[in-house]
Structure 1
Amino acid sequence: MARDQPSQMQLIAAKCITFLHRASAIPATDPKVMFKTLPCLVCLSKAQYDWATRVTAVETLAYLTEVDSKLQEVASISNHLIPTLANFLHYKPAGSNQAEVEHISRELRAAAFMAFASLGANDEDIRKKIIETENLMGAVVAGLQDAEPKVRLSAIRCLHSLSRSVQQLRTTFQDHSVWKPLMELLKGASDDILSVASSTLCNLLLEFSPSKEPMLESGAVELLCNLTRRCDPALRLNGTWALMNMAFQAEQKIKLQILNSLGTDQIFRLLQDPELEILMKTLGLLRNLLSSKPHIDHIMGLHGAAIMHAVLYVLEGSSDLAVKEQALCILANIGDGDTAKNFLIHNEEVLKKIKDYMTNKNVKVQVAAIFCITNLIWKDEPGSLERQMRLKEFGIDKLLHALIQTSDTFLWEKVKAALAQFSD
């Protein structure tokens, strides 16, 4: 990689070290990576080298910096790299062959998008610096609509990386309406493009994102529900995750739209998914759907039996305690409704399960179970005395008195709060 070597030798040597680093044979902190390979690749991206060398150097740099935040930080301040990459987006090579000129231009754009995606993966300041590059977002939006799949995929990866910024979601992303070409891309795209595009969608559908409303009006619910039915686990995960984000603090009509489009049968299938993360996001979706008293009562009135069956299935099945905790939190949300409480208080099997989990060795699981009890017995709510009597039949009050001896302060506070609601 010495500067007096031919550029192709430098490039291949830098690729060797890059691949050794990504294969975990050489750490990012090794001087050969940080102070030799990275500067070499940055240097080879400059205008004095031929376009093919520059493209390969930038693609290799993108791969080198993809996962390590320190390498991203160093690269972003190395030798004017960000302005160099910005020039890639607007570079028009000289030549009379229009097809070749277009090919070179696309290769340069795709490489730049890949590098921006890697550089902006973790750091907000780097993302800000990239987004503030002149005409960057316009180039990304154009890239999403490019005829060449390689350019589209790189542009989406860049967009996905930049969409991790809360500040940019509220401002730049709204100004450029990036959701429009993204939604178009999701219709009939290849799995590669679909995977990254749907990951980006998860961020654009967060509660505070201005893109959320227009995306809902453009058929996002149906599109995401269809993703949950795909064979590829990554697509099922992204579909479920995006729906979970969409349901957070949403209006009742949106929640009902999700439930109607997805269907309780599909929710049940997702709760049986072999991928733990998909199961957790499905439980998160149910929690978000069952929030706010009027919403809880309305949704349980329509789908209560199916939802209870699904939650009980999870409590009886998976051995993962984080899953159990989420399922109990859903029951606690149901217990927070006015009429929905009846689904818990009149179900002996559910009450026995809650009682069992109150003595679990995991404190988070215990707290979630006690949360269910507390929501059933608030003194100032109609019917609380009858519900308390019902729980006393199961020995819940005695169990709470036993748990007050706990040395865990968080658990003790929750037990104390529950006992305070019980009438003597």
Structure 2
Amino acid sequence: MFEMMMMDTGLGHVYVENLNVSDAQQLLCNLKQMKNVVIGSSRQKTNLMLCGAVPRLLQIMTTDNTPSEILVECGVLLGSFAKGNEANKRELMEDGVLAIMMQGLAHSNLKFVESCLRFLRTMLTSPIAPTEILFQDNTVIPHMIQLLPRSPCTQECVASILANSCKTPDQQEMMFRHGAIQALSPLLTSNSDKIRLPALQCFAAISYQNKPISMAIASAMYNGESIPELFCKLMARNNTIIMQLTSAKCLAYLCRAGAIRPADNMIVIRAMPTLVQMCKKDRSVEERVDGAEVLAYLIEEDVSLQRTAAITDHLVLTLAGFIKYTPDSSHKKEQAEHLINEMRQAAFKVYASLGANEEDIRKRIIETETLMDQVEKYLSSPTVKVQLASVRCLHSLSRSVQQLRTSFQDHAVWKPLMKLLQSEQPEELLTVASSTLCNLLLEFSPSKEPIVDAGAVELLCKLTSSPSSALRLNGIWGLMNMAFQAEQKIKSSILATLGTDQLFRLLTDTNVDILMKTLGLLRNLLSTKPHIDSIMSSHSKQIMTAVIMILEDDHPPEVKEQTLCILANIADGNTAKDFIMSNEDILKKLTYYMRHENVRLQIAAVYCINNLVWNEEEGAGDRRAKLKEYGVQKHLQSLLSSSDTVLFDKVKTALQQFSS
């Protein structure tokens, strides 16, 4: 073998040396000889590249006035080298061939342009491809789109390149701005699958999670038919499986972007059944996984589609087969493990989408044989994709009150969940896992107590300091759930671990949801009289400062309403009332919000007044007298004319306390 390689390398040097001739005809002949040697032989591609063929070819191509025939042969040879192994591709990139071939697209000779496109397609559809290179020069994309109608080869190659390269909203926008929809539309009616398929893939790439472009595609026409109608035609059973699947994917993306209604027959009768069909056993693993993932994405946010999918063609049971999938013995160990993981994560994704809203569907999923055991097991999967999908599935199922009380009690899913949250993980995984933990900490969940005992307070308090707003939100949300109707020791533990400095930071967070949940936590901490008095005795200064700060700042009405409700809770304490009554700022705020134009804020303010003047409580007379000085009774009387029944009832009750 060593001698053979030496001989091949020796011959390789001869072939490369033969490219140094000055006679154009001889050079053309030598290039063709080299082409005949490398086509179909990965070893010879490598040998000739080792012998310096690539720099010499580039030198020929970049020399002025090189004849077109020679340029074409150089382009074909480089295209052949690109079809070698990964190392060949890396070397071609290092040698700067991509940039030169992109420049070649502007040449007047179509055959040379086609050879450049074939090279670029091979390179840019490779997993190691630097696809962003196409978008770095503003002239490349518009030129490629202009090349589309030139020939079947340009249609096939350009569509493939663009479909594989378009990955960001900016890239989608650039393609759209330069007329991609109009240029790609005729390709959908081509007689060649090699052209129709990459055109479909291109439509999928530019429409994914992009509402304006999806709307433009949905309203575009070609030959009197809308583009979505053409997608439907390509879903016909006489087309290849990959064609049907990609067409359904295009429609799913348009639907999720709001360009097609979920109730449209194109979705309900065509796309969704096609995607469910793709999940069947007679499809390849790749088709089943792709079909399931697109289906999960399509139905993720629409209840009616979830209901329809759940009763379509035994989907719930079909997905159970994904989790039990075992590849045949022809696969190598690494490849077999990859396929198993792909199947598992695809199944969990669909289950997560199916169970997002409907109690009945969640029940059917959980009742699928050993599913909860599988979810619990794969929360600890070493493969992040599988782990994330199983957590998503668990998150969906944990939205069920009934299941939290039953199935979740039988399976200690909180253990691997807590372990996951206490380790270094990608942000997306931590976000879904902490959302799930929030559900498991709801008051009626049997898992709540063991989770608290396992260190949930420290874990959630730590999350509230995360740079990620999603993790901060889940941290404070979990603490809020934990504090609801909790024992005094849990509330004290939350306050002590979180600390008042961090509480203030959360109350000044720019994310309104975080602010609302922090106020929700305070409201839950300040509930039941002994707890209110105890917390206010040690934290009154900080809490009252926070309340004033929020009521004075420019916040949405729902934030101020929640803050006034906290005041109402404080007013319900025995001794805590004094912290309101001795604070002139707070009393002025209460009278201000009683007169506010927002009825909900008026109701919350009057609710607080009610708690302060309640007759049966000690010191009520003195408090009434002081509040009269602030004009509270007069304000209440003026509110009797309110048309809002809730406000009227609260005002009436408060006035009764003043008059008794």
| Coarse TM-score class (shorter-chain normalised) | over 0.9
1:52 aligns with 2:286: yes
| Alignment map for 1:300-315 (pairs within 5 Å) | 300-315=536-551
Cα distance per residue 1:359-410 (max 9 Å; x no partner) = 0111111111111111111111111111111111111112212222323222
- Matched with 2:254 is 20
Aligned with residue 447 of structure 2, among 185, 189, 211: 211
Write the distance in 2 (CA, Å) between the matches of 1:287 and 1:205: 17
- Matched with 2:499 is 263
- Matched with 2:380 is 145
Task: Name the amino acid aligned to 1:91.
Answer: Y
Task: Name the amino acid aligned to 2:321.
Answer: N
| Alignment map for 1:12-411 (pairs within 5 Å) | 12-95=246-329, 97-187=332-422, 188-411=424-647
Structure whose alpha-carbon radius of gyration is higher = 2
Write the distance in 1 (CA, Å) between the matches of 2:307 and 2:659: 60
Write the distance in 2 (CA, Å) between the matches of 1:108 and 1:405: 65
SS in structure 2 at match of 1:404? helix
Cα distance per residue 1:141-191 (max 9 Å; x no partner) = 111011100000000000000100000001101111110000011012220
Write the distance in 1 (CA, Å) between the matches of 2:444 and 2:525: 17
Aligned with residue 8 of structure 1, among 205, 223, 242: 242
Write the distance in 1 (CA, Å) between the matches of 2:263 and 2:246: 21
SS in structure 1 at match of 2:381? coil
Cα distance per residue 1:35-82 (max 9 Å; x no partner) = 111101111111111111111111111111111111111111111111
- Compute the RMSD of aligned alpha carbons: 1.0
Instruction: Percent identity, please.
Output: 57
Task: Name the amino acid aligned to 2:243.
Answer: M
Task: Name the amino acid aligned to 1:59.
Answer: E
- Matched with 2:158 is none
8 Å contact from structure 1 (residues 385, 423) kept in 2: no
Task: Name the amino acid aligned to 2:340.
Answer: S
SS in structure 1 at match of 2:641? coil
Write the distance in 2 (CA, Å) between the matches of 1:321 and 1:54: 48
8 Å contact from structure 1 (residues 170, 209) kept in 2: yes
Write the distance in 2 (CA, Å) between the matches of 1:76 and 1:383: 61
Task: Name the amino acid aligned to 1:39.
Answer: P
8 Å contact from structure 1 (residues 206, 245) kept in 2: yes
8 Å contact from structure 1 (residues 314, 327) kept in 2: yes
Write the distance in 1 (CA, Å) between the matches of 2:443 and 2:327: 44
Write the distance in 2 (CA, Å) between the matches of 1:131 and 1:32: 31
8 Å contact from structure 1 (residues 334, 341) kept in 2: yes
Which deviates more from structure 2 when the two are superposed, residues 290-299 or residues 389-398? 389-398
User: Which 5+ residue runs of structure 1 have no aligned equivalent?
Assistant: none
8 Å contact from structure 1 (residues 244, 284) kept in 2: yes
Deviation of the 1:318 alpha carbon = 2.8
| Alignment map for 1:407-418 (pairs within 5 Å) | 407-418=643-654
8 Å contact from structure 1 (residues 318, 324) kept in 2: no
Task: Name the amino acid aligned to 1:414.
Answer: K
Deviation of the 1:423 alpha carbon = 4.3
Write the distance in 2 (CA, Å) between the matches of 1:310 and 1:44: 56
Which deviates more from structure 2 when the two are superposed, residues 155-164 or residues 370-379? 370-379
Cα distance per residue 1:285-307 (max 9 Å; x no partner) = 10000000000000001111100
Aligned positions, number = 424
Which deviates more from structure 2 when the two are superposed, residues 18-27 or residues 43-52? 18-27
8 Å contact from structure 1 (residues 62, 115) kept in 2: yes
Write the distance in 1 (CA, Å) between the matches of 2:246 and 2:426: 31
Write the distance in 1 (CA, Å) between the matches of 2:314 and 2:433: 29
Write the distance in 2 (CA, Å) between the matches of 1:135 and 1:286: 40
8 Å contact from structure 1 (residues 328, 369) kept in 2: yes
